Amino acid sequence: MSFAGLSLGNTPPLQVPLRFFVTAPLFLFLAGVLLLTAGWWSVPGRWSPLWLALTHLWVVGFMLMVMLGALQQVIPVLLGSALPGARAVAFWGHLLLVAGTLSLVWGFLSEWKLCFVLAAALLPAAVLLVGGTACVALGRSPSRHASRLSLALALAALGFTLVIGSWLALGHGGLAVLARRYTDLHLGWGLLGWTVLLVSGVAWQVVPMFQITPRYPLVMMRWFGALHFLALSVWSVARWRLDAPWLQWVGAAWLSVSLALFAAITLRLQAKRRRRVADSTLDFWRLSMISLLLAVLSWWARRMGILLPAPLPAILFVTGFVGSAILGMLYKIVPFLVWLHLTNRAQASGVVPRGLPNMKQVIPNERSKRLFRLYTAWLPLSWAAPFRMEWLGPPAGLLLMAVALVLARHLHQAVRLYRRRRRGLERGNGSHAASFHSP
């Protein structure tokens, strides 16, 4: 076993994950604005500028933004390996990601070709920078935990998603033939690959941690990532290379079983939790897993001929499964990081870290409950919107803007509290409640 690169204490500077987290609500807000104006867009359907802009605001501006931020925190803490050049990588990665997302979205809305070319350069650069450094850290990690393989496969899937995405963007930009038949491949590897592998890889560790549940079965943690990746590969090859419908069904069935198994086992573990206190993160996670089951069911229902809008399974997946999981995680990670960085700072200056704001003082229960209620009110609207976009778009847009504003406010309050207390520590008065020097 190699212990090179071992860094048990190296939690990255707070601004590394935080700059990604605090930017995400901005893109949620923009998505809300677009939904609000849904009725004004004349071209309906999957290829309309509105849909393309909306989906990318959500999956890149919100999902990828938070996920890349979290990845930079999770690898050092859960797998004991720091990302090289963490501060600079986060700064440039974030800047490139924000600029790339804005160009892409503006490209869809304005159909200005240059925007797509810019996005095809900026977004891969962002992911290459953050994802590449994450790969180096994973390679150096001394941990043999199943999370490591899941995260490595997730990054491979993200790379593949990005290659196809950039090619499609160049198609929109007029520099390549626009190969729309590969859009499902882009979508499949982004959602079922990168997203599922990342969420599951993190879940192996955080689900038992947060609620003191039994651990996931060892055999599941060991094989899930590889088998899921293989299922996605089978589905892709069957559909785009072999043109073999039967194999495509095998791939789709295998993927469905994999997703349903992950959701069902997570719910079962959570039902067996030892921790019985009310917790918004638990509520968000349950909502997330139930939505994942609904997404799988609705996909099969459509295949069986039940008349459901084509985008429904994907919407259930991104807003229900991923959106809920992300919000649940943010309301745990951000308060913990604020406390941890204040504590580390106090300790470094020789002060016993007492009386510092605990997690519930950084984001009180009422705030996380408020966001949960608001989000659960918005979710059904997001699922119903594709049935009647012109009616349901505006209320869905307004409510999403409210979700974004509340989230932004809670994160902002946490950052302000951190800054205030850090200044207090720097002035040398330790904490307000108790400040005495270590013996």
Residue choice 276, 305, 306, 307 for contact with other proteins (CB under 8 A): 276
Say which DSSP state 437 is in: B
Rounded Cα distance between 137 and 311, Å, is 37
Measure the CA–CA gap between 374 and 324, rounded to whole angstroms: 12
Cβ at position 10, least distance to other proteins in Å: 9
* In contact, 309 and 386? CB cutoff 8 Å: yes
Helix (H), strand (E) counts: the chain? 16, 0
Kindly tell me which residue out of 121, 352, 384, 406 binds other proteins, with binding defined by CB under 8 A. 352
The 3-state DSSP class for residue 6 equals strand
Q: Tell me the HSE value of 227 on the side-chain side, using a 13 A CA sphere.
A: 17
Mask for 124-153, x = binds other proteins (CB under 8 A)? ------------------xxxx--------
Contact range with other proteins by CB under 8 A, out of 4-12, 103-111, 176-184, 284-292: 4-12
Which amino acid makes up residue 16?
A: V
Out of 272, 303, 360, 423, name the contact with other proteins by CB under 8 A. Answer: 360
CB of 345 to other proteins, least distance (A): 12
> Least distance (Å) from other proteins to the CB of residue 360?
3
- The amino acid present at 393, given as its one-letter code, is G
Question: Which two structure tokens, joined as six digits, stand for 115?
Answer: 């925007």
DSSP string, 214-238: PPPPHHHHHHHHHHHHHHHHHHHHI
* Residues 414-433 contacting other proteins, CB under 8 A: none
223 binds other proteins (CB under 8 A): no
Which range, of 26-34, 53-61, 155-163, 208-216, touches other proteins by CB under 8 A?
A: 208-216
Token pair listed for 267: 């719910």
Least distance from C-beta 289 to other proteins, angstroms? Answer: 20
CA angle 304, 307, 313 (to 5 degrees): 75
Determine contact, residues 372/280, Cβ cutoff 8 Å: yes
Report the alpha-carbon distance of residue 301 to residue 181 in Å, rounded. Answer: 23
Task: Quote the CA–CA distance of 3 and 182 in Å, as a whole number.
Answer: 42
Q: Rounded distance, CA 109 to CA 88, Å?
A: 32
Residue 351's SS3 state is strand
Shortest Å, Cβ 139 to other proteins = 15
x/- track of binding to other proteins for residues 6-45 (CB under 8 A): x-xx------------------------------------
Positions 308 through 347 that interact with other proteins (CB under 8 A): 332, 335-336, 339-340, 343, 347
Q: Of the listed pieces 121-129, 203-211, 255-263, 416-424, which binds other proteins according to CB under 8 A?
A: 203-211
CA distance 192 to 229: 9
CB of residue 134 to other proteins, shortest distance in Å: 17
Measured CA to CA, the distance from residue 112 to residue 344 in angstroms comes to: 48
Between 55 and 141, whose beta carbon lies closer to other proteins?
141
The region of 16-24, 60-68, 207-215, 310-318 touching other proteins under the rule CB under 8 A is 207-215
Residue 137 or residue 381: which is nearer to other proteins going by CB?
137
Give min distance, CB of 206 to other proteins, in A.
Answer: 8
- Give CA–CA dist 334/338, Å, rounded: 6
Which range in 28-36, 92-100, 293-301, 352-360 contacts other proteins by CB under 8 A? 352-360
x/- binding map, residues 77-116, to other proteins, per CB under 8 A? xxxx------------------------------------
The answer to whether 31 touches 424, Cβ cutoff 8 Å, is no
Q: Select the span of 126-134, 241-249, 271-279, 305-313 touching other proteins (CB under 8 A).
A: 271-279
Distance in Å, CB of 91 to other proteins, minimum? 25
- When asked if residue 1 is in the footprint of other proteins (CB under 8 A), the reply is yes
358 binds other proteins (CB under 8 A): yes
The phi, psi pair for 109, rounded to 5°, reads -75, -35
Residue with tokens 């941990």: 143
Q: What is the spatial distance between Cα 301 and Cα 309, in angstroms, rounded to a whole number?
A: 11
Among 88, 163, 175, 212, binds other proteins (CB under 8 A): 212
Binding site for other proteins (CB under 8 A): 1, 3, 6, 8-9, 77-80, 142-145, 205, 209-210, 212, 274-277, 332, 335-336, 339-340, 343, 347, 352-355, 358-361, 438
